[in-house]
Amino acid sequence: MALALDISNAQSTSFAPSDSDLPSTVGRSCSAPNNHLDTLSHKFISDCDPKSFCSSATNGTCQPRVCRRDEFAYGYLPDEVVPSLCPEGAFCPDDGSGCVGQREVGGECEMGRDEQCVAMEGWDSEGAGLGDRMNVNGSVCLKGVCAYANVGINQPCTSEVISHEYKTHDGEHYVNVIARDNCLTASLFCSNDTATCQPVRMVGETCRFHRDCQSVSPSPFSNYLCLQGSCQSPPNAPYTMAGWQYAVTAISIIAAMATICVMLTLMHKRHRLKNFQETRDYCYEQITLRRSIMEMNGRYDRLRLRK
């Protein structure tokens, strides 16, 4: 299994300037043993700036970085020349001192650097189930040692939980908890209770980290969602309707259409009946009026004959 992210935040009052605003340290004296990871953020720290590394070959002086690990290098201005990426089968270490060949299983690797480990043969073949978007070529770096993410169900596993603390530009303080293990990606996870690989949890089941829950989305930042100790679907997950919901929806639509048709028919009949009654009353009124006129004319003729 690869990783799970749990993020919390708290307000902070201090903020450090950008590394790109600091003066260059190239040519300054340094000590390679001072290279370390920050205890809170686990960011690589050395006597040199992010654009240089401490070279022992030059009697402990900062030299420009030889390689980079990211597509967009950190700390460089748009008009600056950035170091090159390493070729396939090699990696750039945290200090950027130069490309190094990938490590075999059991070899040393730097924290969170899965790409430093060599891939197992056939990891990307159909049905292998080792490669996943949450790790690199089926291999994973756990506790500084390269391993494969291929441990089966109920087998002993190795897990690593690391908290990264950092600050944003607006001064907020965040804690990012990353859980990693070497269980078969991405159908199993390393249970903290039994230290064995267990099937990932379904929506509604209990969990501790996002990685404990089943992957339901192709996005690497919304695969697993563990909220308040329960697996939940991420906001961008498609909603799946049950069969009875389709049936109820179809029946409701048909019933609504039938009701509308019946109501329109009744309204039309009422309108026709009203028009019929008005026409009938008008005809009766005209017939009555005609009879009255004829009766008056008959009386007038009789009176005239008497005279």
* Per-residue confidence (pLDDT) for residue 303, from 0 to 100: 77
> In the prediction, which pLDDT does 7 show?
42
- In this predicted structure, what is the pLDDT of residue 23? 63
Boundaries of every domain in the chain? 246-307
> Residue 24: its pLDDT value, please?
78
pLDDT at residue 67, rounded to an integer = 94
Can you say how many angstroms the Cα of residue 62 is from the centroid of all Cα atoms in its chain? 40
Helix (H, G, I), strand (E, B) or coil at 99: coil
Rg over CA atoms, the chain:
40
User: Assign residue 208 a region: left if phi > 0, alpha if psi is -120 to 50, beta otherwise?
Assistant: alpha
CB atoms within 10 A of CB 145: 16
Task: In whole angstroms, give the CA distance from residue 233 to residue 202.
Answer: 9
Task: Please report the pLDDT score of residue 269 as a whole number.
Answer: 94
> What is the helix (H) or strand (E) element at residue 95, kind and residue range?
none
pLDDT in tens, the chain (307 residues): 544 444 444 433 333 445 545 567 788 999 989 999 988 888 899 999 889 999 888 778 999 999 999 888 888 888 888 999 999 899 999 999 999 999 999 999 999 898 999 887 766 654 445 545 556 677 889 999 999 888 889 999 999 998 888 887 888 888 888 888 888 877 888 998 899 999 988 888 888 888 888 765 445 445 667 888 898 877 776 777 888 999 999 999 999 999 999 999 999 999 999 999 999 999 999 999 988 888 888 777 777 777 6
How many other CB atoms sit within 10 Å of the CB of residue 270?
Answer: 10
Provide the terminal-to-terminal Cα distance of the chain, rounded to the nearest Å. Answer: 126
